[in-house]
Amino acid sequence: MKFNNININTFNDWALQDKDKGMELGHASSVSKMFDLIKKDSHIFDSSFKALDLGCGNGWVVRKFLDIKNCKSAMGIDGAPAMVKKAKEIDSRGFYINADIEKWTCEKKFDIVFSMETFYYFDNVDKVLSNIYNNIISSRGLLIIGIDHYFENTSSLNWDKEFNLKLNTLSINDWINKIKNIGFKNIQHTLHGSKKNWHGTLILYAYKT
């Protein structure tokens, strides 16, 4: 099956080729850092919370949330059917949806909206951020995003041709300003895993209020 979205096609093919496990391993360190930031910078883990993972792949981050004592529920959404199929086969605790994130919304509110390596695939980042802010995140909610493809990380700038993807290339300041302009507060960012020829994973996090 082929889709109109080139990125969904690529990731669906990767799931069918069992490349999702390699993606999980490759992003594990950055995701662990993001969880550490949630724990240190907020009190969300200290009481009952609900989490949403945008671009959940095989569901590994949803499962990570569900392993936390106070996680009441966790949901993952992904555009690639084969990824969501894997997530459902692996995990019966989480709730998984196959949908186009740029068009999706729901009536539930989440205390954490998490995303690793997904946001730069969106054609309209502002629309997704606005939907999160206005419809999806709770009043005390935290948005946290991990991004490897951005202007300052020059070794990532050829990924569109290398991996058959359509990418939205923004600078660090572009990302900060987009989050700020939607209305999020206390916006912070850090770089994780920087080394020679790799600027690091850009982690951005901000609160609704």
Structure confidence by residue, pLDDT tens digits, 142-165: 999 999 999 999 999 999 999 999
3-state secondary structure 78-116: ECCHHHHHHHHHHCCCCEEEECCCCCCCCCCCEEEEEEE
pLDDT tens digits, residue range 92-136? 999 999 999 999 989 899 999 999 999 999 999 999 999 999 999
Percentage of residues in the chain with pLDDT exceeding 70? 99
- Helix/strand/coil for 203: strand
CB 111 within 8 A of CB 51: yes
Instruction: Map tokens 């490897």 to a residue.
Output: 148
pLDDT tens digits, residue range 17-53? 999 989 999 999 999 999 999 999 999 999 999 999 9
Cα separation, 62 vs 74, in Å, equals: 6
Instruction: Map tokens 């069992």 to a residue.
Output: 18
CATH among 3.40.630.30, 3.40.50.150, 3.60.15.10, 3.40.718.10 for 6-207: 3.40.50.150
Cα separation, 77 vs 61, in Å, equals: 11
Tell whether pTM > 0.85: yes
Mean pLDDT over all residues of the chain?
Answer: 96
Assign 4 a pLDDT band (cuts: 50, 70, 90): confident
Instruction: Map tokens 């990570």 to a residue.
Output: 64
Assess whether pLDDT exceeds 70 at residue 177.
yes
pLDDT tens digits, residue range 59-79? 999 999 999 999 999 999 999
